[in-house]
Amino acid sequence: MAQKGILVTGGAGYIGSHVVQQLTAMSHRVVVLDNLSTGFADAVIKANLVVGNTKDSELVRNLLKEYQVDTVMHFAAHTVVPESVANPLKYYANNTCYTRNLLECCAAAGVKYFIFSSTAATYGIPSTPLVTEDTPTAPINPYGTSKLMSEWMLRDLSQASNLNYVILRYFNVAGSDPTGHIGQSTREATLLIKVACEAAVGKRDQIYIFGTDYPTPDGTGIRDYIHVEDLARAHILALDYLKQGGQSTILNCGYGHGYSVREVLDAVQRVHGHPLKIVECSRRPGDPPRLIAAAEQVRGVLGWQPQYDNLDFIVKTSLDWEYKLLARG
């Protein structure tokens, strides 16, 4: 019998490509579906890349059949919060409606396992700094809402079918593949470590701190940063968990502790060996003072043990990748 396939949507993007690299290293049969709007074809290593969109039902159905797919890992999404506020329907179309289309195709094809890329943005501004999976969901922007609506659809489909799922709610993903094969190539990035490393190599003139008067030790916001390779590993373990009969579940993906904006920028300057030009600005609306994952569940349920829980290492892999991108021109 032919090996069952894994469909990875958005597998040419930042997180998806790191997961694909780990899957193919384990000899899984992988097909990537990506429209390359934010992904990169050369980030797909040792897997078949099909350029297309999850809204294309015929294409999705054909891929599920051709590769005898029993597992879908769904990363394809728009992810820029300010853009979601300015253009909400774009996010509800791509992140929600197209996910519904994908799920319909999965249901018709009898897909058994579904791993969904979700976000801590589903929690909005939680009342406590440590966020558990039971913390009420109350997203404050269309990006978070579009992801939460997809979670609900997945939950309801699972209850009405034989599809089981793991929803992984990411906190602040950072870093790049330590071997240097792939990395975070996102255009017009908004994530702090990526942006700071771009400033370090001269792609940006300066770096901004939004808010210096938060009730935190140094006045700047604190976030839980997780290395992309550790996050990718959580997806591999989620697949193992489901195939061993695990029940559908939602898990936070973070390290369980955080760093302030100043601590992150200090780390970038320390690893880079040169100062950054830092500009202090007022707070942005909707930014909580602290956002840290309660990470016991992902460790307990999946047996996940992070390897790269070190801020300087996260920064180094980010900086190494920025130099590589700079050399490419």
- CA pair distance 115, 170, nearest whole angstrom: 13
Residues serving a catalytic function are: 143
The count of other CB atoms within 10 Å of the CB of residue 65 is 13
Q: Which residue has the tokens 């990537």?
A: 32
Tokens read off for 96: 């929600």
- CA pair distance 269, 279, nearest whole angstrom: 15
What type of residue is 93? A
Nearby residues of 262 by Cβ (< 8 Å), 6 or more positions away = 209, 218, 219, 220
The strand pair at 259-260 and 222-223 is best described as: antiparallel
Q: Which residue has the tokens 């009342």?
A: 127
* Tally of CA atoms within 13 A in the half-sphere of 61 that contains its CB: 8
Beta bridge partners of residue 61, listed in sequence order? none
Burial letters 232-242, b for 16+ CB under 10 A, else e: bbbbbbbbebb
